Amino acid sequence: MQPKHNKLSSLVRRDLSGGSRQLLFIGMVTVLVALAYVADRMSRSFPLLDPDPTASFVIAGVVVVLASVWIARFRSKLVPFETPRLMWATVVALACCAGGLSWFLLELANWSLDRAPPQEVRYTILGRYSFDGDFFFRTAPESIAGEEGQRTYSVSVTEEDWDAARTGSVLLLDLRPGFLGFRWIAGYRVCETKYRRC
C-alpha cells in the first residue's frame, strides 16, 4: 500500500507535469513570493506604530472572501490541480496571499502619499527585547508612561541603540499621521544613552 505522503506528492507532480495552465500557476506563485518579500522589507523600513490595527484584519478578511470567490470561479484556468483536496487548498492559499498583499498595498499608499512634516514625539523606553535577530524597545508615550493599563508599542531599532539605551531613556519618534490615518514611524532618536543626550 502506497503511503499517503507519497501518493500526495505523486498527484502534485502529475498535475504540474506541464502545459500552459501549469506554467501560469508557477509564474503566479513566483510573483506572489517576490511581492511578499518586497512587502516584508518595506514594512520593516516604514513600520506602523500599531503593526496590527483592527482595520488590517477587516480589510484582509474582505479581500480573502472576494478573492476566494473569484479564484474559485476561474479555478479551471488558474489552478492546475485536478484532485479536489489540492485544488480547494490552493484556492484558499492564493486567496490568503491576496488578502495579505492587499494590506501591504494600503500600507504603501499610507506612507508614500503622506506629505506631513516631521513631528518628533517623546516616548519612554519601558523595556527591550530581541527576537529572531531583530531588536525592539517596548515604549509608551512619555506623558502616560507608568500609568496602570497603559498601551505599549514595540519599536524596531538597531543593535547599537538597543545595547546603549536603558529603561527610562527617552525615545524621540518621528511620527507621521499617514495618508490613510495609520500612524507610521519615519525615524527615531534615542536620548539619555551612554553615547548622547537630548
Task: Give the separation between CA 51 and CA 107, rounded to whole angstroms.
Answer: 10
Phi first, then psi: give them for residue 154, nearest 5 degrees: -100, 130
CB atoms within 10 A of CB 135: 18
Of the spans 28-32, 36-40, 142-146, 176-180, which averages the highest pLDDT? 176-180
Ranges of each domain in the chain: 4-112, 120-190
Strand partners, 127: 138
Q: Which three cell numbers stand for residue 90?
A: 490552493
Q: What is the mean pLDDT of residues 30-45?
A: 81
Query: Over the Cα atoms of the chain, what is R_g?
Result: 23
Query: In 10 A of CB 23, how many CB atoms?
Result: 12
Torsion of CA 41, 193, 172, 161, to 10 degrees: 0
pTM: 0.72
* Residue 1's pLDDT band (cuts 50, 70, 90): very low
Per the CB < 8 A criterion, the answer to whether 162 and 137 are in contact is yes
Beta-carbon contacts of 63 under 8 Å, excluding residues fewer than 6 positions away, are 95, 98, 99, 102
Place 19 in a pLDDT band, splitting at 50, 70 and 90.
low
pLDDT tens-digit map of 169-193: 899 999 999 999 999 999 999 886 5
Q: What is the pLDDT of residue 136?
A: 94
